[in-house]
Chains A and B, each alone.
Chain A
Amino acid sequence: KQEVTQIPAALSVPEGENLVLNCSFTDSAIYNLQWFRQDPGKGLTSLLLIQSSQREQTSGRLNASLDKSSGRSTLYIAASQPGDSATYLCAAQSNTGNQFYFGTGTSLTVIP
């Protein structure tokens, strides 16, 4: 069974800092990898989707990379803002194309 691990579990940074969230997965036979954001009491919002054939995706201040061979993905957030405070979840989609395997998330706090 695919195991997804996220480090660190929690992170607190001052506003304006660049930061990196890490995700590792045990089975490299993935269909794609997604990063999600979850605000308290809310559902998940998809941030970036990286297909298995891709190396990275960018959206605004966010950049996600994927290294399938080493089973790693990183989410880079530039110039962090208080509004970025949330839990960030990494999820690897299985090769059968249906279910996602989620990590336990990184809780990010950006201090004004």
Chain B
Amino acid sequence: GAGVSQSPRYKVAKRGQDVALRCDPISGHVSLFWYQQALGQGPEFLTYFQNEAQLDKSGLPSDRFFAERPEGSVSTLKIQRTQQEDSAVYLCASSLDLGGRGYTFGSGTRLTVV
């Protein structure tokens, strides 16, 4: 597609509910990243894929967070047993290569846990 597509745009979850956030990167982009952006803050790195391989998941805040990219294209970020502190905008980005060429962000999914 023309850009990085994320769905849903908005998600309200009750505390304890599981959620799944989807990212559809630009076709042909090898690298895919997930970031978490709390209100008034800059994005913070969660995890990184090169094709289907998850090469870095050091930013995932707890074992309730899980990401996958099984076929090297679409990625899903899953959060189990959501907590209020999980409320944030979740941004996905993809790039052509490791050098950051064509680094493109999606519009994000705003998650609110009530």
- Closest chain B residue, CB of each to CB of A36: B105
B2 to A: closest C-beta gap in Å: 13
How distant is the Cα of A56 from the Cα of B107 in the complex, in angstroms? Answer: 28
B72 at the interface (CB under 8 A from A): no
**Residues of chain A with a CB closer than 8 A to B45's CB:** 99-101
Q: Tell me the interface secondary structure of chain A in the complex.
A: strand
| Distance of A92 Cα from B106 Cα, bound (Å) | 19
Range of interface residues on chain A? 20 to 34
Q: How many A-B residue pairs lie within 8 Å, measured between CB atoms?
A: 61
Specify which chain B residues have a CB less than 8 angstroms from the CB of A105 in the assembled complex.
42
How far apart sit A31 and B101, CA to CA, in the bound complex (Å)? 12
Give the complex CA separation of A105 and B56 in angstroms. 25
Question: Nearest chain A CB to B47's CB is how many angstroms away?
Answer: 9
Please determine whether B91 and A102 come into contact, CB atoms closer than 8 angstroms.
Answer: no
A48 to chain B, nearest CB (A): 12
On whether the beta carbons of A98 and B48 are closer than 8 Å, the reply is yes
B residues adjacent to A (C-beta < 8 A): 4, 31, 33, 35, 40-45, 48, 55-56, 59, 91, 93, 98-100, 103-108
Given contacts A43-B91, A104-B42, 19 further A-B contacts (CB under 8 A): A32-B99, A34-B100, A43-B106, A44-B91, A45-B105, A46-B104, A46-B105, A49-B103, A91-B42, A93-B100, A96-B56, A97-B99, A98-B55, A98-B56, A99-B56, A101-B45, A102-B42, A102-B43, A102-B44
20 contacts between A and B (CB under 8 A): A31-B99, A32-B100, A34-B100, A34-B103, A43-B106, A43-B108, A44-B105, A46-B104, A46-B105, A49-B100, A89-B43, A93-B100, A96-B56, A98-B48, A98-B55, A100-B43, A102-B44, A103-B42, A104-B42, A105-B42
